[in-house]
């Protein structure tokens, strides 16, 4: 816990003036590897995310984007290297995994709402069972966040009765009910009809404006341009480029990133 960051690589970090608290990054990955059999899904990934920073992860299909963010809350177990989340080392120990998961919220491409529970039940389950809140407290909290994602009137419905965009906003509210410090998004709009993409992106922008630390895998380049502090481009398991959006879009360094951007934008 008492590690003091000695990396000088990240220029975005604060000055040397207050190294103790300021410099514990939200996420720090060092030489992380993940293998599936012979296949290397993450290949020596280094990544540092400062508190409040917004990162967009992009790259071709199969490049390891999902694997990367799923390792951050230990839904996928990394094989080598170090991952720290808010200074907690993800060392496969139960208590550390739990601590990290309490600090992170995750939103999935396929929503993964619990279909047998109402929207409200989806939202209060974790606060009541993990944070031991009373039902009344948890309900207030849930309604607060459902209002924030602009669907308080759907609280008593089942997920199957909502549109995709509404379901994804519920998923965001459900994650927020655990008051996470970091939000992870894995292609949150890819399963949505085009007209619903906007409402979800708007919700994410609002979250970004409030200072949430965010890692988003997305191909919504408009969102990336507007919201991201940094873009991480993945290819074949490596984080090949990390740059501010303007820089990344204007002159991507690698050939692979150039062809990728060509495909995505046209």
Partner 1 sequence: MSHFSPTAAVNYFFNYFLMKGVLVTIGLTVAAVVGGLILGMGIALMRMSSNPVLSGFSRLYVWFFRGTPLLIQLVVIYSGLPQLGIKFSVITCALVGLILNEAAYLAEIVRSGFMAVSAGQREAAWALSLSPWVTFHRVTLPQAFRLMIPPLGNSINSLLKATSLASVISVEELMRRSDMLMQEHFQILEVYAAATAYYLILTSVWDAVQRRLEKHFGRSSAAKSRRVAARAPVAQANVEARA
Give the residues lining the site for Mg ion (CB under 5 A).
66
For residues 92 and 116, which CB has a smaller minimum distance to partner 1 in the complex?
Answer: 116
CA distance 263 to 218: 14
CA distance 80 to 34: 7
Q: Least distance to Mg ion from the beta carbon of 134, Å?
A: 38
Size of the site for partner 1 (CB under 8 A): 36
Site string for ligand ATP, 20-39 (x = CB under 6 A): ----------------x--x
Q: Least distance to ligand ATP from the beta carbon of 65, Å?
A: 4
Site string for partner 1, 62-101 (x = CB under 8 A): ----x------xxx----------------------x--x
Say which entry of ligand ATP, Mg ion, partner 1, none residue 67 contacts (CB below 5 to 8 A, set by partner kind).
Answer: ligand ATP
Q: Does 251 bind partner 1 (CB under 8 A)?
A: no
Structure tokens at 164: 């995709």
Q: Least distance to ligand ATP from the beta carbon of 234, Å?
A: 6
CA distance 52 to 175: 17
Check if the beta carbon of residue 66 is closer than 8 Å to that of residue 12. no
CA distance 60 to 266: 15
Q: Does 178 bind partner 1 (CB under 8 A)?
A: yes
Q: How many angstroms separate the Cα of 80 from the Cα of each of 30, 46, 63, 74, 123?
A: 9, 12, 18, 13, 34
Say which entry of ligand ATP, partner 1, Mg ion, none residue 36 contacts (CB below 5 to 8 A, set by partner kind).
Answer: ligand ATP
Q: Least distance to Mg ion from the beta carbon of 149, Å?
A: 23
Of 147, 141, 149, nearest to 168 (Cα)? 149
**Could you tell me the strand order of the sheet in which 80-85 lies?**
39-49, 27-36, 80-85, 88-89
Interface with ligand ATP by CB under 6 A: which residues?
36, 39, 41, 59, 61-67
């Amino acid at each position: 816990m008492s590690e003091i960051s000695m990396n000088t690589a990240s220029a975005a970090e604060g000055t040397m003036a207050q190294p103790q608290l300021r410099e514990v990054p939200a996420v720090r990955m060092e030489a992380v590897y993940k293998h599936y059999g012979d296949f290397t899904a993450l290949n020596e990934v280094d990544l540092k995310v400062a508190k409040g920073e917004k990162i967009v992860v992009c790259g071709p299909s199969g490049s390891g984007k999902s694997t990367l963010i799923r390792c951050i809350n230990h839904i996928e177990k990394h094989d080598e290297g170090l991952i720290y989340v808010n200074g907690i080392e993800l060392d496969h120990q139960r208590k550390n995994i739990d601590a990290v998961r309490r600090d992170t919220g995750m939103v999935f491409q396929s929503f993964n709402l619990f279909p047998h529970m109402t929207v409200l039940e989806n939202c209060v389950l974790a606060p009541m069972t993990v944070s031991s809140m009373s039902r009344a407290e948890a309900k207030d909290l849930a309604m607060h966040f459902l209002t924030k994602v602009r669907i308080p009137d759907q609280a008593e419905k089942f997920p199957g009765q909502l549109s995709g965009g509404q379901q994804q906003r519920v998923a965001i509210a459900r994650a927020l009910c655990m008051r996470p410090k970091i939000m992870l998004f894995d292609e949150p709009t890819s399963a949505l009809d085009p007209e619903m993409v906007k409402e979800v992106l708007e919700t994410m922008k609002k979250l970004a404006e409030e200072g949430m630390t965010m890692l988003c895998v997305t191909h919504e380049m408009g969102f990336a341009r507007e919201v991201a502090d940094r873009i991480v481009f993945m290819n074949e398991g490596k984080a090949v480029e990390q740059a501010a959006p303007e820089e990344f879009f204007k002159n991507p360094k690698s050939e692979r990133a150039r062809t990728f951007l060509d495909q995505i934008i046209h």
